[in-house]
Structure 1
């Protein structure tokens, strides 16, 4: 499967260390490239800008790519495939809801505006909810990573010119959705919401003990699910008919 190209979409580079083991595991069987995006702190940026830059990369690839993204990166990757399905073999969306604005950062912004707490205390509290790990060291590192992400990365609502992100709709490419069973950001009803948009051949998987950043702690399960899905997706460069994968059913499984 080394001929299959994976493009890991990374709009929040400050958090990439949480996904590194998953990408390294996938790299054993696939060609994995990281598409990282950073913008100037004084620069106004919206989804269309990101899509335009991403399209320049994808249009210049020699083979169709499998897009993978977590959170806001997964949302943007899905919306890209929804608009521009050419040269996209599949999309794997991790910790993604059909309501595009439902991100961990939106929960932070809501708590920050309503609670009489400092930024540090809110982020420290969120760090306990977003990732498995009871040690004080893990919480301390996560708190710093979340703060760095808010200060430097692509965050909906963090810039002066606030743009609305459209919600998920059906996409004409194979779709894999993986969500955590203990994710307070993407709630348990997300599976029901996703079923309105998943086609025959698409797949919804739930990692029962996973929280929002489950690829950090459940990297082996995560990579195995993605690998199994990609292996079932027809090679788009061979122009196989979509009916090839219609025997697959939309599933909800505890891993």
Structure 2
């Protein structure tokens, strides 16, 4: 397989990267997929602007556009980039991203923190159930630790002071939007609210289960859907009718 990537997985939450690995492994069986990570330091402002500039520095070194794919806030970075540099993006795949782009697990956490008379650990325990379902005590504590670390290192724009809202824009690049029917962060309503922004050939797909990290719970199925989407784009390029002259 070529060392030049045809697809790029975006990650701005290194702490949660473990939940992306099964899907990356599945996709890599058919495509040369690379991983691009951004690790925000405590001294940086909470913004995706720096990450977008660094991503552009990487992609402009490649001699061909690539498929961008990401989950939650990482996917939102891909959308920002695709809007600014569509010539470098072959397609964009958004996983667990609603029509309010800024809605992520942290926005739900802070909303609960402001309304419930509970400490951080109690709310994070509830978030583990919301995101992953019921877990054994040991695994629950591990997931609580990961979420707590993500609160400290992710460039999510949501804070205790403000939970932001961002509306999509029409895009020229092909788009795949996927989510889960039982996701309590990005609800089916938020997922279906993408329809006004979809073009002919774009895909909106809802997995039957898997919650917010459905791509981790169902990596093989999600891989099949994404690869089918990528292959459909290649078939359009190779379709001989595309090269027929108009009489």
Q: What TM-score comes out, normalization by structure 2 length?
A: 0.88
Distance 1:183 1:26 in 2: 23
| CA apart distance, 1:132 | 4.2
8 Å contact 2:107–2:159 — kept in the other structure? no
SS for the counterpart of 2:188 is: coil
What's 1:210 paired with?
210
Change (3 A) 1:127 1:164: closer
Distance 1:235 1:63 in 2: 18
What's 2:60 paired with?
59
Distance 1:115 1:132 in 2: 20
Distance 2:235 2:39 in 1: 31
Distance 1:230 1:117 in 2: 45
Distance 1:53 1:165 in 2: 24
Distance 1:165 1:147 in 2: 23
| CA apart distance, 1:190 | 2.3
8 Å contact 1:150–1:158 — kept in the other structure? no
SS for the counterpart of 2:193 is: helix
Distance 1:163 1:126 in 2: 17
Indicate whether 1:134 and 2:135 are aligned: yes
Indicate whether 1:86 and 2:83 are aligned: no
RMSD over aligned Cα, in angstroms?
A: 2.5
Change (3 A) 1:155 1:230: same
Gapped regions of structure 2 (runs ≥ 5): 243-247
8 Å contact 1:22–1:222 — kept in the other structure? yes
User: Which is greater in Rg?
Assistant: 2
Greater fraction helix:
2
Residues 134-173 of structure 1: matches in 2 within 5 Å? Answer: 134-158=135-159, 166-173=166-173
| CA apart distance, 1:48 | 2.3
Q: Deviations over 1:102-139 (max 9, x none)?
A: 11100101111221111111111111111245333332
**Alignment: residue pair count:** 240
8 Å contact 1:98–1:168 — kept in the other structure? yes
> Does 200-209 or 81-90 show the bigger shift?
81-90
SS for the counterpart of 2:221 is: helix
Q: What TM-score comes out, normalization by structure 1 length?
A: 0.86
| CA apart distance, 1:158 | 4.6
Q: Deviations over 1:170-197 (max 9, x none)?
A: 1101100110110011112124311000
What's 1:117 paired with?
118
Indicate whether 1:16 and 2:17 are aligned: yes
Q: Deviations over 1:217-247 (max 9, x none)?
A: 11111111111111111389x7x79x96xxx
8 Å contact 2:181–2:188 — kept in the other structure? yes
